[in-house]
Amino acid sequence: MIEVAALPPAMQAALLVGVVLVEAVALYAGYGVVERSVAPPIIEALEKA
């Protein structure tokens, strides 16, 4: 297991940038799947309301 706090500050900062990047890509892809499956029935229900 890597101890993050023991890494040099530059490595920690680069790791932080990587974590935010991965979070953003995962959220973009994950919500994309949710949107494709959930959005059409919601819009259809609103159209019929």
Partner 1 sequence: MDLLGVGIGLFALFVVFGFMVGVFFGFFGMGGSFLVTPALLILGYPAPVAIGSSMAFVFGTAVIATMKHHDVGQVDYKLGALMFVGIALGIEAGKMLVYFLDQLGRAELVVGTAYVVLLGAIGVLFVRSALDRSEDEDSDPGTEEEIPEIAKKIKSYNVPPMVTLTDGSKASMWTISGVGGGVGIASGFLGVGGGFIRMPAIYYLIGVPLAAAVGTSLFGALISGAVGTFTYGLDGAVDLSIVTGLLAGSALGARIGSAATAYVDEDDVTIYFGVMLLLASVAVALGELATWLAMPILDRLSFVLLVGSSAFVTAVIFYYGGQAIRTKGNRSVESSGPSE
Residues that bind partner 1 (CB under 8 A): 9-10, 12-14, 16-17, 19-21, 23-25, 27-28, 31-32, 34-35, 39, 43, 46-49
Evaluate whether 21 touches 28 at the Cβ level (below 8 Å): no
Q: Which two tokens stand for residue 5?
A: 């706090």
Nearer to partner 1, 6 or 10 (CB): 10
Residue type at position 44: E
CB of 1 to partner 1, least distance (A): 18
In the DSSP assignment, the letter for residue 5 is G
Q: Which two tokens stand for residue 15?
A: 């790791």
CB of 42 to partner 1, least distance (A): 9
